[in-house]
Amino acid sequence: MPRVYPGDPPYAVLVTTRTRLDDAEALAQGFEMQGYAAEVQPWDLDGEALFDVYLTSFESLSAAANAASALSEDGWLADLKMLPSRS
C-alpha cells in the first residue's frame, strides 16, 4: 500500500491488482492520462508477485469516494483506502 508523508492527502482508491508489472503500469499510465495521480505497488502472495494499481492524492474522502463510484460504474472494483503516514 502506498504511504504518504505528513501533510499529504491520505485518501486513495485501489483500482485493481494485476499479476504482470507491465499490465499494472499500463493501467496506471491510462489513469494518469485521465487526470488521476496513479501508483503501482508491488507485493507478493505465497511467492507470487502481484501489483496493485492505486489512484492517490485525493484531498478529501468525498473526492476519493466520487472517483471510486465513477470507476465502479466503468466496471472496476474500486476500493477506498486511507493510507498510512510515513514518519
Residue with the bigger pLDDT between 83 and 75: it is: 75
Please tell me the pTM assigned to this model.
Answer: 0.91
Q: Which CATH architecture has domain 12-82?
A: 2-Layer Sandwich (3.30)
Domain edges within the chain: 12-82
Closest to 9 (Cα-Cα) out of 83, 75, 86, 87: 83
Distance in angstroms (rounded) separating the CA atoms of residues 12 and 65? 9
User: pLDDT, tens digit, for every residue of 44-65?
Assistant: 999 999 999 999 999 999 999 9
Q: Express the helix, strand and coil content of the chain in percent, nearest 5 each.
A: 30, 40, 30
